[in-house]
Amino acid sequence: MELGKKIWVFADGDLPPQGQEEPLGHEALIVVNNGEADARLELDILFPDQEPHTGVLLEVPARRVRCFRLDYPIGEDNYQIPAGQYALVMNSSVPVVAVFGRLDRRENVAYYCLSGHAQ
């Protein structure tokens, strides 16, 4: 049985800045593909003060999970999301389950898992 949806939106991205020796946190997109076909993902990254960066391509093989750290370059074009506010719109070729996680060390250590809107 395939689980998930093809369209996901994560509206609360806020990538922490780099600290003195290490990042002050990170965010990650975790995608589960329990189907029989590989998932081809396309991300559009929206910002409050600049044009979107569209068409970031990722893959998750069939019956696998992948964690994409968003403080590292992602996709075939190695796009680096800048620190600050953004949102992700993810379209998948097959139904997947997606979770957005955040580790934030700016005040107290905290980790959040945020589910997105799925269609």
Q: For the domain that residue 25 is a member of, what is the CATH number?
A: 2.60.290.11
Tell which residue, 1, 3, 5, 23, has the closest CA to residue 14. 23
Q: How many CA atoms lie within 13 A of 60 on its CB side?
A: 27
Domain residues for 46? Answer: 5-118
Q: Tens of pLDDT along 33-72?
A: 999 999 999 999 999 999 999 999 999 999 999 999 998 9
* Predicted pLDDT at 118: 63
Pairing type for strands 64-69 and 84-104 reads unpaired
Q: pTM for this structure?
A: 0.85
Distance CA 11, CA 27 (A): 13
Report how far residue 23's alpha carbon sits from residue 20's, in angstroms, rounded to the nearest whole number.
8
Domains in the chain, number: 1
